[in-house]
Structure 1
Amino acid sequence: MEGLIVNGFSRLSKEDRINWLVKNFTNNSLKTKEILSQYWLDNKELQKLHDEFSENTISNFFLPWGIAPNFLIDGEMYALPMVTEESSVVAAAANAAKFWLNKGGFSTQVLGTTKLGHIHFFYKGNKEKFTNWFQNFLKIKLEDATAEITQNMRSRGGGITSIILQDNTAKLEGYYFIEVSFDTRDSMGANFINSCLEEMTKILKEEMNQSESFQSNEKESLQITMSILSNYVPDCRVRAEVCCEVDELDVKVMSPYEFAVKFKQAIDIATVETFRATTHNKGIMNGIDAVVIATGNDFRAVESCAHTYASRSGKYRGLTNCIIEDNIFRFWLEIPLALGVVGGLTKLHPLVRASLEILKKPTSEKLMKIVAVSGLAQNFAAIRSLITTGIQKGHMKMHLLNILNQLGATNSEKELLSNLFKDQIVSHHRVVKEFNKLRRNS
């Protein structure tokens, strides 16, 4: 155990952190030390900025930052910045954008922007008395207590929109929560929401202790567990849609009508079958996460919310829908998205600033629309591949370079093998076989 436990790691220099890590966990691997050091940025100010994004940093972890062009969204052209390590995601989104470009593009609608926070507590006194006290007295006190915190947000048209007491004693003995609804305008609003909730928690404690309406035992029965925002925001929701006449679905390998029917069947399967719905929604999030990361937003919060929303009926189902009616093919995604364009990394990370500039400096509502479109486009591309040529043909072609890089192929070998597999289905086994043959022959 000696050397494996360290005190004051955060106070060590970056070099000392790496030396300790390499010595104790990589058997003094000089290669690992070299790799960790080579990802430092030459720009010292920029490196300092990156170091301050998180704790105990020793290096940087790079991901590709790509562009999916040709998106027509509500009559405006966009190029979508996407950060992802998965092959074919950016290409698939771009292909879907091009497919719908001459069919009217994507249309969107923001259905709500409400975000939520909760104060969770237990109370075992008189339920009716507490409810009346909350409604007629405490609620007003909570609003007044947060007036200073919400002042700037209110000046921008946002703030607290409602405060409601929820009785959950049927689920858990004595359990209640106060649900606070917020409009945080162009910010994601996590810090703002949590600051309001913590101030309200303080007031709840103080007012209960000072109240003459409750006996000592009732006051003592109030136990506040926590106050925190919720990442489930079902009323901060956006819809993205594409539609065209069935005859316009030009996919070459089958008739437009057959394509439309098979496409709807694929969506219906994801609606009723959890195994398929999980992979179906993962594909949607391939597109959504890539734009969320590129714009400095919290993809973990977006993911957790999306999957909770997919389970809102009590059964996990696909997030997209499709209908064919009167010879019109209609395909849409409705999803909650809590996003911000101010605060957090949006003003700090240079590539985040570049992403938002490329997206025409959107408001949070506009960004909700763009992100939803990225998910819909990705899902369309995936379903189209699955019901026509199969997913592997396109995916493995994009993956070919990854395999060749793993094998240590030279540029000339990459060119030769890329040409060889130009009209063939790519598999890892076949690439390795052809690579080894090429090496033997040379």
Structure 2
Amino acid sequence: MTEHKIINGFSKLDRLQKIEWLVEQLNLDEVTADFLNSFQLAEQSVQNIIADLSENHLSNYHLPFSVAPNFVVDDKVITFPLVTEESSVVAALAKAAGYWAKRGGFHSKIIGTEKKGQVHFSWSGKPEKIFRSFPELKKQLEQEAAPLTQNMEKRGGGITAITLKHLPEIIPNYYQLDVSFETCEAMGANFINSCLEQFGKTLKSWVQTNDEFQAEEKETDVIMAILSNYVPNSRVKVWVECPVEELESDAEKAHAFALKLVQAVHISRHDVSRAVTHNKGIFNGIDALAIATGNDFRAIEAGGHAYAASSGQYRGLSDAGITNGKFWFSLELPLAVGVVGGVTSLHPLAKLTMAILGQPTASQLMGYLAVAGLASNWSAVRALVTSGIQQGHMKMHLSNILNSLHVSDEQKRAARLYFQDRGVSYSEVQNYLNEHAK
């Protein structure tokens, strides 16, 4: 293998030159270029949109675009488009959708839609002096950001609150401008960051020209100005509920199942080892729908995990209980999403996703994402306390196992028939193929 050398100006090469460099540097197979080209879209205008979403584009990485029908959300029947490589996720959501469609469906409630950002800065003057002058600073911040906020304000959004915080326990002389935003139908990242960066400029100018400050207080250092992906004031709650007896056809089994599921959820809220995996199951559903809509699933996950730890201990995000003979299962978490702008308005499949969802508002999409999370969580916990996770999970992975073993289409059909009512594992599939190859 040749030595991997540092290259300058790589981003200035065209796509084929980048591939050629990669093949030469890493001594890759000569057909690598053809292989990468095979994933390019024939429609050049669409391919250009995909390529421009990222730097140093070489090809397209395909993931399945699937749907899960029969979601009843606030009495409306919805089909969820989903993008995921985990084979059991779509099946789990579809199964949960069908189950709860017969029991009243999913319900949602928007608790808030405010986003958040911060200007982090240091200032060496007396804290009481800057707090005393803060109303004047706040007025100037709003005035000088007006060109940035006027269009958002016309749509009903804008800056909703500005708070000054002094946090010397983090860094000596450290302050924050803690800012709340309403961004309406947009996720609003660019809007928020533009406002915050303007706030940083206004702050520096205001400090320099403030007559109440001494000469040594005329300087401030803006450390950074950036949105926060922790948005506890942009929050949604979703839930399902029904009489305990309706959970199963047999009343005694229904009560036993309800109690066991409540216990499983309770464990996730008090044991961090279980909570992490429990929440991963929630985000299986949320991420799949978020990716399909072109929303930032990484930001959603980061904020969700922070919220899971907001009590001081990391906990499972969902909750369950039995109240007056009624079983309920709920999920509450922060979500910052948009239905206009960004990838949502650019990516052809993201636009199709929004059409399939019925062109939801940002608030409606918050509900749908949370429903996808609760549905995924329901199926996972239900399997855990009944048949076990592997029975259904490995059956969904049967196709992956067969593909990894490079078997013929005829062998795949025979194997699927054989394992239809049997447990699946990699070794069992291998043994079956070995026996039937004789």
TM-score (norm 1): 0.97
Using the TM superposition, give the Cα deviation of residue 42 of structure 1 relative to its aligned residue in structure 2, in angstroms: 1.2
SS at match of 1:4: coil
Corresponding residue number in structure 2 for 1:155: 154
1:4–1:244 CA distance, 2 compared to 1 (3 A): same
| Contact in 2 for aligned 1:23/1:29 (Cα 8 Å) | no
1:231–1:4 CA distance, 2 compared to 1 (3 A): same
Give 2:24's aligned amino acid: K
User: Does 1:435 pair with 2:423?
Assistant: no
Give 1:151's aligned amino acid: Q
Give 1:343's aligned amino acid: G
Where structure 1 has 5 or more consecutive residues not aligned to the other structure, the ranges are none
Between the aligned residues of both structures, percent identity stands at: 47
Corresponding residue number in structure 2 for 1:76: 76
User: Does 1:294 pair with 2:292?
Assistant: yes
Corresponding residue number in structure 2 for 1:131: 131
- C-alpha RMSD of matched pairs (Å): 1.3
| Contact in 1 for aligned 2:3/2:25 (Cα 8 Å) | no
Give 2:196's aligned amino acid: L
User: 1:40-68: CA deviations, max 9, x gaps?
Assistant: 11111111111111100001111101001
Q: Distance in 2 between matches of 1:173 and 1:410?
A: 68
Corresponding residue number in structure 2 for 1:196: 195
Corresponding residue number in structure 1 for 2:19: 18
Q: Distance in 2 between matches of 1:212 and 1:414?
A: 80
User: Does 1:170 pair with 2:169?
Assistant: yes
Q: Distance in 2 between matches of 1:7 and 1:436?
A: 52
Q: Distance in 1 between matches of 2:179 and 2:44?
A: 43
Q: Distance in 1 between matches of 2:272 and 2:82?
A: 28
| Contact in 1 for aligned 2:110/2:235 (Cα 8 Å) | yes
Aligned runs of 1:141-152 on 2, under 5 Å? 141-152=140-151
Give 1:23's aligned amino acid: E
| Contact in 2 for aligned 1:253/1:388 (Cα 8 Å) | no
User: 1:362-414: CA deviations, max 9, x gaps?
Assistant: 00000000110000000000011000000000010000000001111111110
Q: Distance in 2 between matches of 1:318 and 1:17?
A: 44
Give 2:77's aligned amino acid: M
Using the TM superposition, give the Cα deviation of residue 132 of structure 1 relative to its aligned residue in structure 2, in angstroms: 0.8
Aligned runs of 1:284-363 on 2, under 5 Å? 284-363=282-361
1:320–1:385 CA distance, 2 compared to 1 (3 A): same
Using the TM superposition, give the Cα deviation of residue 253 of structure 1 relative to its aligned residue in structure 2, in angstroms: 11
User: 1:21-54: CA deviations, max 9, x gaps?
Assistant: 01111x1312433322211111111111111111
| Contact in 1 for aligned 2:231/2:335 (Cα 8 Å) | yes
Corresponding residue number in structure 1 for 2:184: 185
Give 2:12's aligned amino acid: R
Corresponding residue number in structure 1 for 2:277: 279
Using the TM superposition, give the Cα deviation of residue 168 of structure 1 relative to its aligned residue in structure 2, in angstroms: 1.0
| Contact in 1 for aligned 2:245/2:251 (Cα 8 Å) | no
Where structure 2 has 5 or more consecutive residues not aligned to the other structure, the ranges are none
Give 1:76's aligned amino acid: K
Q: Distance in 2 between matches of 1:287 and 1:41?
A: 28
Using the TM superposition, give the Cα deviation of residue 346 of structure 1 relative to its aligned residue in structure 2, in angstroms: 1.5
Corresponding residue number in structure 1 for 2:87: 87
1:2–1:263 CA distance, 2 compared to 1 (3 A): closer
SS at match of 2:421: coil
Using the TM superposition, give the Cα deviation of residue 438 of structure 1 relative to its aligned residue in structure 2, in angstroms: 2.7
Using the TM superposition, give the Cα deviation of residue 262 of structure 1 relative to its aligned residue in structure 2, in angstroms: 0.2
Using the TM superposition, give the Cα deviation of residue 434 of structure 1 relative to its aligned residue in structure 2, in angstroms: 1.4
User: 1:231-252: CA deviations, max 9, x gaps?
Assistant: 0000100000000000000177
Corresponding residue number in structure 1 for 2:373: 375
Corresponding residue number in structure 2 for 1:423: 421
Q: Distance in 2 between matches of 1:384 and 1:3?
A: 50
Aligned runs of 1:261-280 on 2, under 5 Å? 261-280=259-278
Count residues with an aligned counterpart.
Answer: 437
| Contact in 1 for aligned 2:70/2:94 (Cα 8 Å) | yes
Q: Distance in 1 between matches of 2:74 and 2:221?
A: 50
SS at match of 1:317: coil
| Contact in 2 for aligned 1:87/1:398 (Cα 8 Å) | yes
1:254–1:390 CA distance, 2 compared to 1 (3 A): farther
| Contact in 2 for aligned 1:40/1:47 (Cα 8 Å) | yes
Corresponding residue number in structure 1 for 2:205: 206
